[in-house]
Amino acid sequence: MKTWLHEVLISKDFWVSFSVAVIFLVAGKFSAFAVRLSRQVWQSHQMYSVSGFWIGDCILPSCGGERLIEIWRFVQRQDQIKITLFAYYPTGSLIDRCLGSGVFRGSYLSAIYYSSRRDSYESGVLALKLNNQRLRGTYAQYDIADTDEKFYTSDGEYTLTRVHLPFLKAAKMLLGKPPFRDYDEANTMYEQCCPRKNPVAAENTAYSTQQTQ
């Protein structure tokens, strides 16, 4: 048995076959990834699809009034939506990752999202309408950092703008990784896509609060 195994391991044909198998396996994985990325890029150019990458800003209740930059990825299959979100904080190096799902029918997107951190049960809801290359509407969630856990709803028009990420950054999101290194880099992309004439607070980050009973 040992002799046979030894002969196999020192056989040139064995290592050639093994190398070919590994190459085909890697090529198959890369091809599948390339197909996913190509499909995402193609769908992001469809007028009546929300598949692709979106960028926006908001102020979450539990963040002390800080303005966050958000990068969303929506994957649409028929009317079902899968969501990945990366939220960049202006202070510190925290990048929060959220997951979610929803439904897109007609021109309306309804969805839920939640933090992927095991130490957090933060979650919220979205109700947005597609208009050209923007999604507008509102989002709401409980402020779990507040002792009374007040319920917050965005008053103004919360807006997401479709963004076409560079290849490597899009690939990172497909792999579940943050596309940008930090807040400044994400904010630079935001300013390029969404020039603001008015302060962010006047557009989409005012809140109404309701005490939970």
Dump pLDDT digits (tens) for 148-179.
778 888 876 899 999 999 999 999 998 999 99
- How far apart are alpha carbons 98 and 55 in whole angstroms? 14
Query: What is the amino acid identity at position 11?
Result: S
Q: How far apart are the two ends of the chain, measured CA to CA in Å?
A: 74
Give the pLDDT band of residue 117 (cuts 50, 70, 90).
confident
Question: Which pair of tokens denotes residue 61?
Answer: 């209740």
Longest dimension (CA), the chain: 79
pLDDT band at 198, cuts 50/70/90? very low
| 29-83 pLDDT, tens digit each | 555 544 455 554 444 444 578 999 999 998 876 677 778 999 999 999 989 999 9
By DSSP bridging, strand 151-154 and strand 134-142 are antiparallel
Q: Which two tokens stand for residue 74?
A: 């929506």
Q: How far is CA 34 from the centre of its chain?
A: 19
What's the confidence (pLDDT) of residue 142?
84
Name the most confidently modeled range: 10-14, 37-41, 198-202. 10-14
Kindly state the average pLDDT of the residues 81-109. Answer: 92
Would you state the pLDDT for residue 94?
83
Look at residue 211 in the predicted model and tell me its pLDDT.
Answer: 43
Q: Is 185 helix (H, G, I), strand (E, B) or coil?
A: helix
Give residue 33's pLDDT.
46
The count of C-alpha atoms lying within 13 angstroms of the C-alpha of 27, restricted to the half-sphere facing its C-beta, is 6
Measure the CA–CA gap between 35 and 43, rounded to whole angstroms: 12
Please say whether the beta carbons of 74 and 52 come within 8 A. Answer: yes
